[in-house]
Structure 1
Amino acid sequence: MNTIAEIAELANVAKSTVSRYLNGGSVSETTRKKIEIVINKTGYMPNAFAQSLKAKKTNIIGTIVPRLDSFASTQILIGIDDKLREQNYQMLISNTSQDLKREIEYIYYMSNQKVAGIILLATQITQAHLEAFDKTKVPVILVGQQHERVYSVIQNDELAAFEMGKYVLEQGHRKIAYLGVTEDDIAVGVKRKEGFQRAIRNVEDCDARYYETSFSMEEAVKKASDIIETFVPTILVCATDNIALGALKAAYLKGLHVPRDISITGFGGYDVSEMIHPSLTTVKFEYKESGQDAANNMVKLLNGIKIPPILLSRYTIIERESVDNILKRQ
Structure 2
Amino acid sequence: MDINSIAKLAGVSRATVSRYLNDGYVSAEKRKVIARVIKETGYVPSQQAQTLRTGKTNIVGVILPKVNSHAVSRMLAGMTLEFNDAHYQTLLANTNNNKETEVSYLQLFAEGNQVDGIILIATVLDQEHRRALDALRVPVVILGQDMEGYSSVFNDDYRSMLQLCRKVLPNSVHPAYIGVTQEDVSAGQERRRGFLDACAELGLDVPADAMGTSPFSLDGGYECAESLMSRHPELDTFVCATDVIAFGALTCAREYGRRVPEDVQVTGVGDSDLTRVVTPSLTSIHHHYQTSGREAAKLLIEAMTSKDVVPREIRMSYGIMMRNSTR
- Residue from 278, 289, 312 that aligns with 2:315: 312
- The separation in 1 between residues aligned to 2:52 and 2:119, in whole angstroms, is 18
Structure 1 counterpart of 2:123? 123
Deviates more, 1:106-115 or 1:73-82: 106-115
- The separation in 2 between residues aligned to 1:163 and 1:50, in whole angstroms, is 54
Q: What are the superposed Cα offsets for residues 243-278 of structure 1, whole Å, 9 maximum, x if unpaired?
A: 001111112322322112211000111111111111
Deviates more, 1:304-313 or 1:294-303: 304-313
DSSP-derived class of the 1:304 partner: coil
Please state if 1:258 is matched with 2:260: yes
8 Å CA contact 2:55, 2:113 repeated in 1: no
DSSP-derived class of the 2:154 partner: strand
The 3 A distance-change label for structure 1 pair 322 and 52 is farther
Q: Which TM-score applies when normalising by structure 1?
A: 0.86
Structure 2 counterpart of 1:4? 2
8 Å CA contact 2:61, 2:119 repeated in 1: yes
Deviation at 1:21, TM superposition (A): 5.8
Deviation at 1:168, TM superposition (A): 1.9
DSSP-derived class of the 1:249 partner: helix
- The separation in 2 between residues aligned to 1:75 and 1:102, in whole angstroms, is 22
The 3 A distance-change label for structure 1 pair 48 and 261 is farther
The 3 A distance-change label for structure 1 pair 134 and 222 is same
Deviates more, 1:89-98 or 1:118-127: 89-98
- Cα root mean square deviation, aligned: 3.0
Deviates more, 1:199-208 or 1:254-263: 199-208
- The separation in 1 between residues aligned to 2:269 and 2:48, in whole angstroms, is 37
Structure 2 counterpart of 1:327? none
Structure 2 counterpart of 1:328? none
Deviates more, 1:34-43 or 1:179-188: 34-43
- Structure 2: segments with no counterpart, 5+ residues: none
Please state if 1:77 is matched with 2:76: yes
Q: What are the superposed Cα offsets for residues 72-113 of structure 1, whole Å, 9 maximum, x if unpaired?
A: 000001111112222333322211111212211211222334
Alignment of 1:96-111 (within 5 A): 96-111=95-110
Q: What are the superposed Cα offsets for residues 100-147 of structure 1, whole Å, 9 maximum, x if unpaired?
A: 122112112223344222110011111111111222232111111111
Q: Which TM-score applies when normalising by structure 2?
A: 0.87
Paired amino acid for 1:117: G
Please state if 1:63 is matched with 2:62: yes
Q: Percent of counterpart pairs with the same letter? A: 34
The 3 A distance-change label for structure 1 pair 153 and 10 is same
- Structure 1: segments with no counterpart, 5+ residues: 325-330
The 3 A distance-change label for structure 1 pair 76 and 53 is farther
- The separation in 2 between residues aligned to 1:295 and 1:10, in whole angstroms, is 39
DSSP-derived class of the 2:153 partner: strand
- The separation in 2 between residues aligned to 1:99 and 1:216, in whole angstroms, is 15
- The separation in 1 between residues aligned to 2:289 and 2:165, in whole angstroms, is 22
Alignment of 1:24-173 (within 5 A): 36-46=35-45, 51-52=50-51, 55-111=54-110, 112-170=112-170, 172-173=171-172
Q: What are the superposed Cα offsets for residues 26-57 of structure 1, whole Å, 9 maximum, x if unpaired?
A: 99999977754432213334466874576323
- The separation in 1 between residues aligned to 2:74 and 2:47, in whole angstroms, is 25
Give the count of matched residue pairs. Answer: 321
Structure 2 counterpart of 1:221? 222
Paired amino acid for 2:258: L
Please state if 1:174 is matched with 2:173: yes
Paired amino acid for 1:126: D
Deviates more, 1:45-54 or 1:124-133: 45-54
Paired amino acid for 1:235: T
Q: What are the superposed Cα offsets for residues 156-209 of structure 1, whole Å, 9 maximum, x if unpaired?
A: 001011112211223x20200000011011111100001111111143353453
Structure 1 counterpart of 2:288? 286
Structure 1 counterpart of 2:242? 240
